[in-house]
Amino acid sequence: MTERLEVMTGRLLAVVTGLRVAARTALRCLGRGLGAAQTGQSMVEYAILAALIAVVAMVAVQALGGGIAQVFQNILGRISGIVT
């Protein structure tokens, strides 16, 4: 059970790290673009990047959410067993 938790935690950490890097890059690009004249094409690129980040986040939560919830339920059950 501990190995499974470590694997799932590692996967979730990788997804979160990837999202942080993508968001930081997008914000950096957006920040640079705010000082310059924006063209319609640039704004569309930012919108596509933001939508892509949102889709990746949703897929990650859906893929890993059930397994992680089950792990926390198991932990809660064990803690409840110790306390009572």
27-56 confidence digits (pLDDT tens): 776 666 555 555 566 778 888 888 998 888
pLDDT category, 1, cuts 50, 70, 90?
Answer: low
What token pair was written down for 41? Answer: 């094409």
Q: Confirm if 53 and 26 have CB atoms less than 8 A apart.
A: yes
Smallest CA-to-CA distance from 7 within 67, 55, 72 is with 67
pLDDT category, 58, cuts 50, 70, 90?
Answer: confident
Give me the torsion for CA of 70, 71, 76, 79, rounded to 10°.
150
Average pLDDT, stretch 51-72?
83
Domain ranges across the chain: 2-83
- DSSP-derived letter for residue 37 is P
Question: pLDDT at position 84, please?
Answer: 59
